[in-house]
Structure 1
Amino acid sequence: MNLPFNQDYVLDFLEEILNTPSPTGYTHHIMERIEAEARSLGFEFERTQKGCGIISVPGNDPSRTIGFTAHVDTLGAMVRSINARGTLRITPVGGYMMNAIENEYCTIHTRDGRIYSGTILTTHPSVHVYSDARDFKRDEANMEIRIDELVHTKEDVMNLGIRTGDFVSFDPRAVIFDNGYVKSRHLDDKASVAALFGILESIHRDRWTPAYNLKLIITNYEEIGHGGSYIPAEIDELIAVDMGAMGDDLACTELDVSICAKDSSGPYDYGMTSKFIRLAEREQIQHVVDIYPYYGSDASAALRGGNNIKAALIGPGVHASHGMERTHIQAVMNTAKLLAAYVTDTE
């Protein structure tokens, strides 16, 4: 099998969605873009009640349906309260270290559609002023947003229309290098979404057909644990496409497609995982098999939701997950190639 993939398309789409704010709970804008792109490629698109997107791809044999999930929701924050001196206290959306967002530029999204720029700082932000600035504990109570507006009081902030419960997105700072590296926040999991759209673009352009029906589920609540809890009833096998982690005793690199044998929810399906390994070896796709003890996926959520499915997890290797992340286009394309091999294989 030698299916063609358009790497430039994948990179362009990845850059676009990386630069579209989508913290969990505030994903309507990016889902509109996902829908428009899917329809432009000629595929059916529908929304679930909680806003996730489902893209349908007919296969040669409609007796089985394979599901892919990838999530467009990202880490972010919400306004917890407005401080008397005109700064914002935040509450995190998703699980990350507070020091991972210190000094980051951000955007406040009001409920009436206004946006404001800010910077996330500790409440002791300068070594020239605070003797404990270096050791000051980076936790929620000690973090705030400095708004880039003429505000000095709580009333000044409220006059801007900012309220408790407004969403805060982190600037992704996406950079794509000529050598193939991509560094940005939110590669978890927009790199996987781009890989899936690389498959859709290839199907559209070269008119190849999967062996079985496909459902691509673009979820919007993965970062808080229930993104894939609902899936269409006709799905027999579900493949979560999410980033591969890198670090202590893990084999994954930024060039690999990671095949996860087990995460915090337990082992993934033996047959599906073994098939991915076999196909990666057959197609000579650079891959690793790893175990992620502090990780969960949309497939985990689907299994906990009581769905009668088999499930597996693969995805592109990403360094420094939930921080300033980096991957390589080779990992993204290897993910697309392995998924395509899976859905064209009839054994």
Structure 2
Amino acid sequence: MTDRDRLFQVIETLVMHHSPSGAEGEIDGYLRAQFTALGLDCWQDPAGNVIARVAGQDSSRAIAITAHKDEIGGLVKTIDAEGRVRVGKLGGAFPWVYGEGVVDLLGDRHTVSGILSFGSRHVSHESPQKVLQDDQTVRWQDAWVETKRTPEELAAAGIHPGTRMVIGKHRKRPFRLQDHIASYTLDNKASLAILLGLGEGLRSPAVDVYLVASAKEEVGAIGALYFTQHFAQSFSQRLLQSLDQDDTVPRNTLEAIARQIAQSQTLDALIALEICPLSLEYPVQDGPAPVLLVQDGYGIYDDGLNQELQQAAIAAQIPLQLAALSGFGSDASIAMKNGHVGRAACLSFPTENTHGYEIAHLDAIAHCITILQHYCESLG
């Protein structure tokens, strides 16, 4: 099996774990098991972030690398008397991107599959669907999920307003296009594969490295904002849990030790892993070269940190592209804009059809792992 084949399989497994924003439990357990199997200390914070720590040579300093684990989809709004489910968007999802086909409604007790539907084509202007064929893009208010179940049956499965809708696993499995992978939710399951690759490859970084599978990024980078704001507190609580195993030391002493150690550690930088849209408006080429962002819709990234990442790419003999994006944001840019971290960067891989059936070069994804390994091991 080649490295590309293995990377494809890792991403495929991640894609097949549903994780719509705020309902990410299916992938949480998988990630925690994987990080633990790699021998890393791993925990989940109150915001839902799954965090793995790689101990560095200098534990007074730390960096965080985030890859959001949530995916876009739909949110149930109403259920009518015929069992038709009306949904609104969750994150930047568009119904015409999904098309008519199988979707999964993630009920509290059972997952119910239904058909995202737009209505019949053989109609005249007397039917509301006619305008969708001629003049108007399909919107969420024009679509529904056909379940062929009664409202009572849906309620028994735990489906109600707020239930998440995602592309059905029936349609989710990735497809191989030569050196590329094509799939829904490469944003950001491919970046999670980078995190796992770092968890496997990083053994003695220069400083402590926190690998953060962040929650609810698609609805406002909620997980990353919590992590960066409560960094010392989160580390302190984790240390206390570890120290608690020693029942010979008084609890108040343990708390003092945990606080002292956590407060002595600073978060030097946050690096987000993301997709980079391929579009004529951006000077980004498809292929094996990752992309380092210099700006997005939330502001500029840190020039000094970007230069350090460029030096790491040169050391790894990997070409790197630069881009300034407009309709885009990441964990890193949002955290820096809100004053939670002083330095931020976003390393990404070129992706076609973003927020749709995405296509990315497997080598560009793999090269992100290599660049970040060089960076983490060479920090002064």
Distance 1:130 1:330, change over 3 A: farther
Kept after mapping to 2: 8 A contact 1:67/1:216: yes
Aligned residue number for residue 49 of structure 1: 46
Give the corresponding residue for 2:223.
227
Match of 1:179 in 2: 178
Q: Which amino acid aligns with 1:114?
A: H
Match of residue 57, structure 2, among 49, 56, 60: 60
Query: Separation in 2 of the partners of 1:239 and 1:39?
Result: 22
The 2-side partners of 1:40 and 1:274 are apart by 34
1:87-102 aligned at under 5 Å gives the runs 87-102=84-99
**Residues matched between the structures, number:** 333
Shift of 1:161: 4.5
Two-structure CA RMSD over aligned residues (Å): 2.0
State yes or no: 1:10 paired with 2:7: yes
Maintained 8 Å contact 1:88/1:144: yes
Q: Confirm whether residue 134 of structure 1 aligns to residue 128 of structure 2.
A: no
Name the residue aligned to 1:213: 208
**Deviation beyond 6 Å, 4+ runs, structure 1:** none
In structure 2, distance between residues paired with 1:251 and 1:241: 19
The answer to which structure has the higher helix fraction is 2
Counterpart of 1:34, as a letter, is: L
Deviation at 1:98, TM superposition (A): 2.8
Please list, as runs of the form range in 1=range in 2, the aligned pairs for 1:144-183 lying within 5 A after superposition: 144-147=144-147, 149=148, 151=149, 154-155=151-152, 157-158=154-155, 161-171=158-168, 173-177=172-176, 179-183=178-182
SS in 2 for 1:243: strand
Q: Structure 2: any 5+ residue segments left out of the alignment?
A: 233-265
Contact 1:239–1:314 under 8 Å retained in 2: yes
Measured in 2, the distance between the counterparts of 1:137 and 1:158 equals 31
Q: Secondary structure of the residue that 1:259 maps to in structure 2?
A: strand
- Quote the residue 1:202 is aligned against: 201
Structure 1 SS opposite 2:117? strand
Q: How many angstroms does 1:176 deviate by?
A: 4.1
- The residue that corresponds to 1:75 in the other structure is 72
Distance 1:155 1:36, change over 3 A: closer
**What is the alpha-carbon distance in structure 2 between the residues aligned to residue 138 and residue 157 of structure 1?**
25
Same amino acid, percent of matched pairs: 26
Task: Quote how far apart the aligned CAs of 1:275 are.
Answer: 1.8
How is 1:326-345 mapped onto 2 (pairs within 5 angstroms)? 326-345=359-378
1:247 aligns with 2:259: no
TM-aligned CA distance change 1:14 to 1:287, over 3 Å? same
Distance (Å, rounded) in 2 between the aligned partners of 1:12 and 1:320? 21
Cα gap change, 1:89 to 1:130, in 2 (>3 Å): farther
What is the SS of the residue equivalent to 2:351?
Answer: coil
- 3-state SS of 1:242 partner: strand
Cα deviation for residue 284 of structure 1 reads: 2.1
Distance apart, 1:63 and its partner CA: 2.8
Query: Of 296, 300, 307, which residue of structure 1 is paired with 2:340?
Result: 307
Shift of 1:178: 7.0
Q: How far did 1:127 drift? A: 1.6
User: Per the alignment, do residues 328 and 137 of structure 1 end up closer, same or farther by CA in structure 2, a change over 3 Å counting?
Assistant: closer
Alignment-derived partner of residue 188 in structure 1 = 187
Q: TM-score, normalised by structure 2?
A: 0.82
Report the Cα distance in structure 1 between the residues aligned to 2:155 and 2:99, rounded to whole angstroms.
24
What TM-score, normalized by structure 1, do the two folds share? 0.90
Distance of 1:77 and 1:32 partners within structure 2: 22
Provide, for residues 292-331 of structure 1, a one-character-per-residue CA deviation record: whole Å limited to 9, x for no partner: 1110000123224431421111122211110111112111
Using the alignment, how far apart are the partners of 2:224 and 2:280 within structure 1? Answer: 28
- Superimposed CA distance per residue, residues 30-59 of structure 1 (whole angstroms, 9 cap, x where no aligned partner): 111100000000000111112111110011
Q: For residues 7 and 64 of structure 1, do their structure 2 counterparts lie closer, same or farther at Cα, with a shift above 3 Å needed?
A: farther
**Whole-Å Cα distance in 2 between the matches of residues 244 and 91 of structure 1?**
25
CA distance in 2, matches of 1:197, 1:268: 25
Distance 1:37 1:330 in 2: 22
Q: Distance in 2 between matches of 1:173 and 1:46?
A: 28
Distance 2:52 2:353 in 1: 30
Q: Is the contact made by 2:74 and 2:93 (CA closer than 8 Å) also made in structure 1? A: no
Specify the structure having the higher radius of gyration (Cα). Answer: 2
User: Following TM superposition, by how much is the alpha carbon of 1:101 offset from its aligned partner in structure 2, in angstroms?
Assistant: 2.1
- Counterpart of 1:46, as a letter, is W
Distance, in Å, in 2 between the alignment partners of 1:333 and 1:156 is 45
Q: Give structure 1 stretches of 5+ with no counterpart.
A: none
- Answering whether residue 147 of structure 2 is matched by residue 115 of structure 1, we say no
Q: Distance in 1 between matches of 2:210 and 2:153?
A: 48
User: Is the 1:9–1:198 contact (alpha carbons within 8 Å) kept by the matching residues of 2?
Assistant: no
CA displacement at 1:15 relative to structure 2: 0.9
Distance 1:155 1:107 in 2: 18
What is the CA distance between 1:175 and its match in structure 2? 2.4
Deviation at 1:114, TM superposition (A): 0.7
CA contact under 8 A between 2:94 and 2:140: conserved in structure 1?
no
Offset, 1:338: 1.1
